[in-house]
Structures are given as structure tokens and as C-alpha cells.
Structure 1
Amino acid sequence: MRRRFLFTLIALTGCGRTSDSQSWFPLEAGHRWTYTVTTRSGADTSERESLTLRTLGSATLVLDDQPAWQRRSDSGVNYWLRADDAGIVRVASKSDMQADPVADAPGRFVLKAPFVVGTQWQAPTTAYLLMRTAEYPREIKHSHPNIPMTYEIEAVSEVVRTPAGSFSPCLRVRGSATVKIFVDAITGYRDQPLTTLEWYCRGVGLVKLERSEPSTSPMLVGGSRTLELESWQ
């Protein structure tokens, strides 16, 4: 589930003829991105792993018999996305445990045009890292599977340094949401913040991602996750 979360966030491409050298995320088949992923849970636990994403090119999506650009993660999840003047939209996904692709809700933007400071959109998320300390199931995502997150392009010319090198210009996109959780009979409900920062660099795509789900209660364990680009082609 950890890897599926990651590729839900980074499966960003569309169906359209955009030059790789100018695209905020390359579209054509044959590209590969490898990320180092660091996950922290609570104050003490930290894990690192490597994840790879590949572009497979355009193919007909069986759900509507229309072309879509396909991506595949090394965890066995495929995504189909399209792009037009409105932006980049994810239209379907399928894990190796599913027989057929599952359609996304219409209008699920990954990046919304125009790619300028101030552009906003919404897309569903969930609490991937936040967990209860004393109840089962511990994961908040089971009780809150669809949380609306508002995204906004905050910058369009940032310089981002990663283990794979220094990249510019880059879009910086912030996603912000809150989830109202019943903590206990004394505290009642609390709003827990969920934040995502994503950097997309021209000609390369996603180079860095930071997810933060802090806890404001002793009855909840918060967490964070960071992706950094290690290599790409």
C-alpha cells in the first residue's frame, strides 16, 4: 500500500503531443525515473526504499476505446492519463491484482492549466500516514477514503537540487486538506492537516515530493514522506 500511495501521487502524464524538452512532465514511452523514498512515522521510526516509474507510451484504454498515456510502477500499478488545453487528467488505474482498469471520477486533475502562479484545482486524497494509537484498524484511510485536497501552483521558476542533479525551471505545487477525526470521548473531534508539496521541472517531470500528516493528539501517530529523484532517462 505504501508504494501504491507513492505512485498515486507521481503518475503524472497525459495524452497529447508535447515536446519532452518543454513538458513539465515528459509523455513519450521509454522514460524512467528512480526515486529514493524516506518515510518517517512518529518521532523515531524511519524507513528508506527505492521506487521506479516507467512510461509505456500511448495505448487504447478499454474503458472508453480512446487513447491514453500509460505509466507503470515497479510495484505493479498502471495508470492512464490524458492531457489537453485544460491540463493533465488521470482517467484510470489498475493493479496487478485487478482484472480491468478502474475509472477515475471525471475531471481528476493532476496538473491544471494554465501553469501559472495561482492556478487551483481539487482532487481526492486520503490520510496515508496518519494512524490511531489504540484502535483497530489503526489507519485513518479506512474511515476517510476520500478527502478533498485543494492544489495551487505557488511558483513557476524554482531551482530544485536532488541526488540526480539540479533542475530549473520548476513548478512548485502545494496541496492542502484537513480531515476531521474523532479522537476520544474527552477531546471529541479534531481537524488534522494534510499537506503535499510537489516540484515538476521542465523536461524532466516530478523531481521531489514531500507529504506531511502531523499529529496534534497523543491518540494519533503522524508521519511524513519524501521522494527525491535519484536518476532518470
Structure 2
Amino acid sequence: MSTSMTMRRALAAPGLLCAVAALLVTAGCGQPPAAAQLFPLEPGRSWVYRTVTELEDNTRDEETITLRTLGKDTLTVEQAAEPGPAWHRHSDGGADYWLRADDTGIYRVASKSELDAEPQPDATRRYVLKAPYTVGTQWQTDTAPYLLMENTNFPRETRHRHPAVPMLFSITAVDTAVEADGRRYTGCTQVQGNGQIRIFSSSVGGWRDVPIVAREWYCPGVGLVRLEREELVGSSGLVFGGKLVMELVEES
């Protein structure tokens, strides 16, 4: 599978955006005002992102990803640790996921890949944003090294061998501005995530800790506007990483 397709499927889910992300609803109720402003999910909304991936092997990929909110589904006890209604988001990369919001924040409760017949429940809440939406608020969630590649293993993607890497997220700025696709957005909330993974880089470099850094901007009435992710190894014969930038180019 190409690096482009791998990133398309991986980053379409939250955490990244995981994520995306990146990438809600109060069970049985409407969205709280803050959540609705920073991560709107009313039915019919869509977001188109341009992603640019630059790897340390000097390859570069550019593509677009479209996310859509399909409406509210009711999840069963088999589909979510906390059954009940949740907003359903779909990515044209083949990923589906379900989100909610309450007084604690905005979080994912289930996801489904192209290979899954039914939604797969998250063991615990996977927060996209955690309340209060003020500087210093922190939370932890697992991520995967989506950009790291290993020349001596198959499949090459390191995430197949390290699917869960703890990452600490924090709100670093509020009421800030950000640019995406030539447009300027104001009143935004900025989030930064930091983690690291220990890998064997080469016979010369030995074992090293590779930092994983994510920066995300959520803007009122729009949602996720920009995401940056870095997994940089430096000089290494066995493993290489890269950086990714995802920008909003269209929303409706």
C-alpha cells in the first residue's frame, strides 16, 4: 500500500487528528455551546482537507480528504462502552467514527474501518478536546507512529508493531489566529500533543527515542482548520520519518 493511501486511512480517524485527530453530542441531548463551536457536527456538514506529507527519504505526497457528518446513530452495548446516541462521521478514506460531548469535553466512543462489519468500541473515551477549554488543560490518549517507516521490516509502517503510543495533549492557546489555504481564522483554540517512541535506528545509532509532535487548531463555527505532525528521526539507515500538514480548503 502506498504511503499516501496509508496516511489517508490513518489520519482520517481522530487521535490524529488522530489525529486527528483528529478529527459531538451529549448522550440524549444537544451539543454544549463550547463543543458545538469548536467541533460542529450537525448533519450535512462536510470538510475538505489538503494533506501534504514529506518523508525523510525525500518523497512527497499531496492529496485531499473529505469528512462528512452523517447524523446521529444509536450505538448498542456491543458497539460502545457507553451505549446510546452519538454523531457519525465518515471519511472518504473509508473510516467511520462516532463522537459525543458532555461537560468533560469532546470524545470518540467507537470507530470502524473498511474491514469491520460493525462499529468497534473504544475501551475508554478518546478525547479530541477536553474541558475546560482554557490554556493548561491536559489529557492523554494513545496514538500510533503514522509517519515512521522501517526499511528492514514488512510491512514497513512502524505503526503495525507499535499501535499504541501514549501522547499527552494540552491546550496551549485560546483566542488565537491561524492561516489555512490562504485564509485567516481568528478566535481559535490551539492544542499540542507530545509523545515518543523508542526504536532501533541503525547499528551505528542504536536505540533512540523519536519524538512525536502534533499541533492542531480548532476555530469557532468551523472545527479543525489546521493540523501539523512531526515524527523526525534524522540520519538513519533503517528507519525514517517525516512531517505532515493538513489544511482546511473547503467546508459547508
TM tier relative to shorter chain: over 0.9
For 1:152-198, what per-residue CA distance to the aligned partner results, in whole angstroms no more than 9, with x for missing partners? 10001111122273211111100100101123444332100111100
**What stretches of structure 1 of length at least 5 have no aligned partner?**
none
| Secondary structure of residue in 2 paired with 1:115 | coil
Structure 1 segments (4+ residues) deviating >4 Å: 19-22
* Residue 194 in structure 1 maps to residue 205 in structure 2: no
Among 229, 232, 237, the residue aligned to 1:214? 232
Q: Aligned pair count?
A: 233
| Alignment pair present for 1:137 and 2:152 | no
Equivalent of residue 63 in structure 2, options 41, 49, 57: 49
Is 2:127 the counterpart of 1:109?
A: yes
Paired AA for residue 40 in structure 1: E
2:188/2:219 contact within 8 Å kept: yes
* TM-score under structure 2 length normalisation: 0.86
Q: Which amino acid aligns with 1:147?
A: V
Q: Is the contact between residue 31 and residue 55 of structure 1 (CA under 8 Å) also seen in structure 2?
A: yes
Equivalent position SS for 1:108: strand
Moved more, 97-106 or 128-137: 128-137
| C-alpha distance in structure 1 between counterparts of 2:120 and 2:42, whole Å | 23
- Cα pair 1:12 1:81 within 8 Å, conserved: no
Which stretch shifts more, 76-85 or 134-143? 134-143
Higher deviation after alignment, 173-182 or 54-63: 54-63
The equivalent of 1:73 in structure 2 is 91
- Say which is worse superposed, 94-103 or 203-212, in terms of deviation: 94-103
Matched, 1:25 2:39: yes
Q: Give percent identity, aligned residues only.
A: 45
**Cα distance in 1 between the residues matched to 2:50 and 2:173:** 24
Q: Aligned pair in 2 of structure 1 residues 20, 118: CA closer, same or farther (>3 Å)? A: closer
Change (3 A) 1:102 1:171: same
Higher mean displacement: 11-20 or 102-111: 11-20
Q: Is the 8 A contact 2:230 2:244 kept in 1?
A: yes
Q: What's 2:24 paired with?
A: 13
Instruction: Give the root-mean-square deviation of aligned CA atoms.
Output: 1.9
Partner of 2:170: 152
| Structure 2 gaps, min length 5 | 1-5, 14-19
Instruction: Work out whether 1:37 is the aligned partner of 2:56.
Output: no
From the superposition, tell whether residues 127 and 170 of structure 1 become closer, same or farther in structure 2 (CA, over 3 Å): same
Q: In 2 relative to 1, CA 84–12 (structure 1 residues): closer, same or farther, beyond 3 Å?
A: farther
> Does 1:168 pair with 2:190?
no
Conserved 8 A contact 2:43-2:69:
yes
User: In the TM superposition, what is the alpha-carbon distance from 1:42 to its structure 2 partner?
Assistant: 1.3
Residues 1:180 and 2:191 aligned together: no
Per the TM alignment, residue 142 of structure 1 is displaced from its structure 2 partner at its CA by 1.6
Relative to structure 1, the CA distance from residue 48 to residue 198 in structure 2 (aligned partners, 3 Å threshold; closer, same or farther) is same
Distance 2:34 2:54 in 1: 34
Give the equivalent residue in structure 1 for 2:74: 60
In the alignment, residue 200 of structure 1 is paired with which amino acid?
Answer: Y
Distance (Å, rounded) in 2 between the aligned partners of 1:82 and 1:120: 18
TM-score if structure 1 supplies the norm length? 0.93
The alignment partner of 1:141 has SS state of helix
For residue 245 of structure 2, what is the amino acid of its counterpart? T
SS at match of 2:162: coil
